[in-house]
């Protein structure tokens, strides 16, 4: 398989963590930052690390940025630099541009100038952590849209020993159990007669209201 090529612009904690993980996954990564010290820090981790000001179109062109299938803009506080960089990447014809947004206004501008994917790591992580703090049964939470989510729920006494058909979560709650994690293994197509064990992690997709009803009625109180 041909290795995918990624460029990551901005080597703060967010961009840096993307670089490390992409490299760990065996991807080719070009890491770019205006700050020499940050570039030095990543030179032994990624395929290439270069110092460049990405608001300079010539600098981006000379790096051959248009040949990269995916470019991630992880410039933090400097919204102006983030916007200008995104604009130039779009004009140069980069196909998939992912940008970290600092706030809603930043997101609005980014979506108008051609960012393909806009992420809010701090906000999204905050939401996920809040959900897992509210209920000890919720391990993780992923928002799919304003009304739909995927949650990871830990099965307790109330669910133990019951089969999926007995629970009939789809008919009773309008949600679907997509997979069950048990002792490190994941079953992505659980059968109707699958019995739930205490400690199983159920990966459930549904409307937020239905998911809350399911959490309230089917999971142990404490």
Under rule CB under 6 A, residue 14 binds ligand ATP: yes
Under rule CB under 6 A, residue 30 binds ligand ATP: no
CB of 81 to ligand ATP, least distance (A): 4
Among residues 7, 30, 33, 63, which is the contact residue for ligand ATP, using CB under 6 A? 33
In order, the DSSP letters of 84-131 are HHHHHHHHTT-SEEEEE-SSHHHHHHHHHTT-SEEE-HHHHHHHHHHH
Number of shown-chain residues binding ligand ATP (CB under 6 A): 19
For strand 96-100 and strand 117-119, is the pairing parallel, antiparallel, or unpaired?
Answer: parallel
CB of 118 to ligand ATP, least distance (A): 14
Q: Please check whether residue 98 is in contact with residue 116, taking contact to mean a CB–CB distance below 8 angstroms.
A: yes
Helix (H) and strand (E) counts for the chain? Answer: 9, 11
**Closest by alpha carbon to 51, among 32, 70, 68?**
32
Among residues 42, 46, 49, 55, which is the contact residue for ligand ATP, using CB under 6 A? 55
Under rule CB under 6 A, residue 49 binds ligand ATP: no
Under rule CB under 6 A, residue 53 binds ligand ATP: yes
Among residues 6, 7, 8, 9, which is the contact residue for ligand ATP, using CB under 6 A? 9
CA distances to 5, 26, 47, 177 from 110, in Å:
23, 29, 28, 35
Residues in 74-133 at the binding interface with ligand ATP, rule: CB under 6 A: 75-78, 81
Residue 28 has a CB neighbour count (10 Å cut-off) of 16
**Residue with Cβ nearer ligand ATP (60 or 164):** 60
- Contact residues toward ligand ATP (CB under 6 A) are 9-14, 32-35, 38, 53-55, 75-78, 81
């Amino acid at each position: 398989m041909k290795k995918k090529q990624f460029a990551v612009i901005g080597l703060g904690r967010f961009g840096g963590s993307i670089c490390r993980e992409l490299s760990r996954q065996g991807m080719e990564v070009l890491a770019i930052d205006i700050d020499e010290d940050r570039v030095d820090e990543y030179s032994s981790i990624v395929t290439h690390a270069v110092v460049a000001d990405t608001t300079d179109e010539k600098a981006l062109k000379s790096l051959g940025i248009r040949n990269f299938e995916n470019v991630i803009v992880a410039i933090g506080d400097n919204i102006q630099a983030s916007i200008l960089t995104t604009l130039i990447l779009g004009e140069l014809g980069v196909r998939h541009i992912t940008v970290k947004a600092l706030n809603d206004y930043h997101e609005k501008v980014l979506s108008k100038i051609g960012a393909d994917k806009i992420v809010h790591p701090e906000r999204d992580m905050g939401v996920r952590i809040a959900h897992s703090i509210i209920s000890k049964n919720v391990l993780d939470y992923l928002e799919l849209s304003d009304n739909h989510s995927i949650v990871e729920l830990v099965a307790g006494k109330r669910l133990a020993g019951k089969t999926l058909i007995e629970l009939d979560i789809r008919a009773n709650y309008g949600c679907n159990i997509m997979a069950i994690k048990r002792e490190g293994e994941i079953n992505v197509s659980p059968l109707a007669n699958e019995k739930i064990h205490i400690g199983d992690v159920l990966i459930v997709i549904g409307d937020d209201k239905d998911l809350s009803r399911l959490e309230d009625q089917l999971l142990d109180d404490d």
